[in-house]
Amino acid sequence: MFNRLFSNEKLWRTLTNFWMYFFMLFLVADFFSRGNYDYLIAPFSAIYISVLSIYVGTKEFDRWYDYYEGKHPGEISVIVWTVLMAFLFLVSAFSAAEYKLSSEVVAVYIMVLSVFVLTQKSKRLYSAHKKNAKKRTGRK
């Protein structure tokens, strides 16, 4: 039962989305409280990145073993993160040092971008692999 539950792609997508939006709201609250909760950024980012990594890793393994056929693009998450980062950078830049962006937040953003780029590369490699396999077997 637990094996099926924890291999459920929908569960990991839901957990990933929950932690992403929770973490983003927390970052905005911390930013505008002038870093009063900075001590929580590292634990929350560790949880978010871990859940994201499990979700993406599971999805990619499933893709390569022909179990995954989902259509949940990571581009949306990257766009949301990019908008948030741009907003925080702009407020920080024009607030005369009143609001400061934590370097840990930038590290999380870089991690999100890295995970996205790696999954895009994996997708392209998988498509090429499938295409070459079809050519070798003569199937269309």
Over the stretch 60-115, which tens digit does the pLDDT of each residue have?
766 666 655 556 567 888 999 999 999 999 999 998 778 988 889 999 999 999 98
- Asked if residue 34 lies in contact with residue 98, where contact means CB atoms within 8 angstroms, the answer is yes
Q: What's the 3-state SS for 66-123?
A: CCCCCCCCCHHHHHHHHHHHHHHHHHHHCCCCCCCCCHHHHHHHHHHHHHHHHHHHHH
pLDDT at position 2 over 50: no
State pTM to two decimals.
0.77
Q: How far apart are CA 97 and CA 101, in angstroms?
A: 10
Listed residue (133, 134, 121) closest to 60, CA to CA: 121
Summarised one tens digit per residue, pLDDT across range 4-53 is: 555 677 788 889 999 999 999 999 999 999 999 999 999 999 999 999 88
**What pLDDT shows up at residue 47?**
95
User: How many C-alpha atoms does 131 have within 13 Å on its Cβ side?
Assistant: 6
pLDDT band, very low/low/confident/very high, at 119 (cuts 50, 70, 90): confident
